């Protein structure tokens, strides 16, 4: 389908034939710049056509693509380049301020391609490299299990971990998404989630391109602009995080009612029921909640288009995915019993790059420990309750932070809440609540603590309460609790 539209960016329409030519030209340019099979290429680009072109150009050479979180700071980029051993980096000139000092500490990353007007003297223009290079004609010899991508995880812990994915894993994940959401050549998928995220790569790019559909690129989320794109481009499929659905549901109803949007995917934290209902009523589209994590490729479960949803559930395993709920001794638990969520999937990572000990801790006999706690019901629907690391161990008791968060969110003054455990010399850990109040509303720390004590046992109530302007979050809306825990003392009420 060479004449099908592959990418839409503003007024630009790029066919599959044009994208393929650009990929092969960049592959030749990278090769002539010294990039070899097996080399790692860091890619720090927003949602622009050049991200897709750079990503697949790496595969064309047999190199390894390393998408970089656009919110990464100098220290994170430095660690990523060092840990991955990247020899090449492709980035937007607007990121030069954080990338330049990281490159000074990683001189072995010597091939540098920059997108933008201001090109440093030691770098090449990405646009010119694509335009001036001849088409790459050589066929690269690759095995299905060769590493294709390293997706780095920085939000879950202070240690940077690179999850390695083979070409066969990418294909498996793309096929699962293609079948699950029935993506066809007629679909027009909006890329408002960042493409550096595994879901952006797997669902928005790989699955859509596999089907011959069109990807509509939006460089950054703006609710009004997103709503306009949904209409103007006839978008049929939208993948977003709960915060995006909330913002879109708060806009005035589209007039006339949007007719093209058939299905949406909500990924990350749980989507509040009132937001789900409000969005579906306003946009006349089905919203399916899903669960996953980077190392799984990333999707594990999803609600189905043709099956009932269950309140609070992340749905059923994707075709080809197996789930187990185990206790800490490794015993299989019965339905509705909470335990550790283990996943087996053809889309799983192979290992953590250069971290064999970490790999052995999480990956056993093709089963991966997600780090999450939850349960399966009698119909095999998954309910995710907590990150294991977020369970608070206080004086011999286990406290699920979501229990305390749910109570805090019932307070009329509370907009957002996150509960973490902080070190305590007597109890081992104490409960700290980090709260964002609604605009124009006040509440004291004593009032919030008393409110929790009215509904939960005394030992579960917070000892500390921090009133914050906002909670730190990942691109998918997950609260970065490690950052909240770093302030160990908290503010005592």
Q: Which two tokens stand for residue 13?
A: 């329409």
Query: Residue 269: what pLDDT?
Result: 79
Is-contact 235 283, C-beta < 8 A?
Answer: no
β-strands 147-153, 124-125: how paired?
unpaired
Phi, psi at residue 292, to the nearest 5°?
Answer: -175, -175
Number of CB atoms found within 10 A of residue 155's CB: 18
pTM over 0.75: yes
Which residue is listed with tokens 């080399």?
39
Q: pLDDT tens digit string along 66-105? A: 999 998 889 999 999 999 999 999 999 999 999 999 999 9
170-387 homologous superfamily:
ANL, N-terminal domain (3.40.50.12780)
Domains 170-387 and 391-485 share a fold: no
β-strands 5-9, 214-217: how paired?
parallel
Question: Which residue(s) pair with 467 in the sheet?
Answer: 435
Is-contact 154 338, C-beta < 8 A?
Answer: no
Cα–Cα distance for residue pair 193/236, rounded to 1 Å: 15
Helix, strand, coil percent content, the chain, rounded in steps of 5: 30, 30, 40
Cα–Cα distance for residue pair 419/119, rounded to 1 Å: 45
Cα–Cα distance for residue pair 404/455, rounded to 1 Å: 9
CATH topology of domain 391-485: GMP Synthetase; Chain A, domain 3 (3.30.300)
CATH top-level class of 12-142: alpha beta
Domain ranges of the chain: 12-142, 170-387, 391-485
Query: Residue 43: what pLDDT?
Result: 98
* 241-245 long-range Cβ contacts below 8 angstroms, 24+ apart: 241/193, 241/266, 241/267, 241/268, 241/269, 241/475, 241/476, 241/477, 242/266, 242/268, 242/269, 242/270, 242/271, 242/272, 242/275, 242/477, 243/473, 243/477, 244/192, 245/271, 245/275, 245/276, 245/279, 245/287
Q: pLDDT tens digit string along 283-334? A: 999 999 999 999 999 999 999 998 889 988 999 999 999 999 999 899 999 9
Cβ neighbors of 68 (< 8 A, separation 6 or more) are: 42, 43, 44, 77, 80, 91, 152, 196
Query: Residue 238: what pLDDT?
Result: 97
Residue 30, CA distances (Å) to 27, 82, 139, 252, 264 in order: 5, 20, 15, 47, 37
Ranges assigned E (strand) in 146-193: 147-153, 161-166, 188-191
- Ranges of residues in the chain with a pLDDT under 70 are 154-158, 487-493
């Amino acid at each position: 389908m060479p004449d099908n539209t592959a990418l839409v960016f503003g007024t630009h329409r790029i066919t599959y034939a044009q994208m393929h030519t650009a990929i092969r030209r960049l592959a030749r340019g990278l090769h002539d710049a010294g990039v070899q099979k097996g080399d790692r290429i860091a890619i720090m680009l927003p949602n622009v056509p050049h991200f897709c072109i750079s990503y697949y150009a790496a595969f064309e050479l047999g190199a390894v693509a390393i998408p970089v979180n656009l919110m990464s700071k100098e220290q994170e980029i430095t660690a990523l380049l060092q840990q991955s051993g990247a020899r090449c980096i492709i980035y937007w000139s607007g990121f030069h301020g954080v990338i330049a000092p990281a490159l000074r500490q990683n001189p072995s990353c010597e091939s540098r391609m920059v997108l933008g007007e201001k090109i440093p003297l030691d770098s090449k223009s990405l646009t010119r490299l694509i335009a001036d290079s001849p088409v790459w004609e050589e066929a690269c010899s690759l095995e299905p299990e060769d590493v294709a991508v390293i997706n780095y995880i920085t939000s879950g812990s202070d240690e940077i971990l690179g999850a390695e994915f083979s070409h066969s894993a990418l294909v498996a994940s793309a096929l699962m998404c293609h079948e699950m959401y029935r993506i066809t050549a007629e679909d027009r998928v909006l890329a408002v989630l960042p493409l550096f995220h595994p879901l952006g790569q797997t669902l928005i790019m790989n699955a859509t391109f596999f089907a011959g559909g069109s990807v509509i690129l939006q460089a950054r989320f703006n609710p009004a602009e997103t709503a306009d794109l949904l209409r103007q481009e006839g978008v049929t499929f939208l993948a977003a995080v709960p915060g995006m659905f909330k913002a879109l549901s708060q806009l005035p109803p589209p007039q006339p009612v949007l007719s093209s949007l058939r299905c949406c995917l909500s990924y990350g934290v749980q989507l509040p029921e009132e937001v789900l209902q409000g969005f579906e009523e306003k946009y006349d589209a089905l919203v399916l909640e899903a669960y996953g994590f980077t190392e799984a490729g990333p999707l594990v479960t999803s609600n189905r288009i043709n099956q009932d949803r269950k309140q609070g559930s992340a749905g059923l395993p994707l075709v080809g995915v197996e789930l187990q709920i185990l206790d800490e001794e490794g015993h299989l638990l019965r339905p509705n019993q909470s335990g550790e969520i283990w996943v087996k999937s053809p889309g799983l990572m192979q290992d953590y790059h250069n971290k064999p000990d970490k790999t052995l801790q999480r990956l056993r006999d093709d089963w991966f420990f997600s780090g999450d706690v939850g349960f399966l019901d009698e119909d095999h629907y998954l309910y995710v309750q907590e990150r294991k690391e977020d369970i608070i161990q206080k004086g011999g008791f286990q406290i699920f932070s979501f229990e305390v968060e749910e109570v805090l969110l019932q307070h009329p003054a509370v907009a957002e809440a996150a509960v973490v455990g902080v070190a305590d010399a007597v109890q081992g850990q104490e409960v700290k609540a980090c709260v964002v109040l609604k605009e124009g509303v006040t509440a004291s720390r004593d009032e919030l603590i008393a409110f929790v004590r009215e509904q939960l046992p005394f030992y579960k109530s917070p000892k500390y309460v921090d009133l914050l302007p906002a909670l730190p979050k990942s691109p998918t809306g997950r609260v970065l609790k490690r950052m909240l825990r770093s302030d160990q003392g908290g503010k005592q009420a």
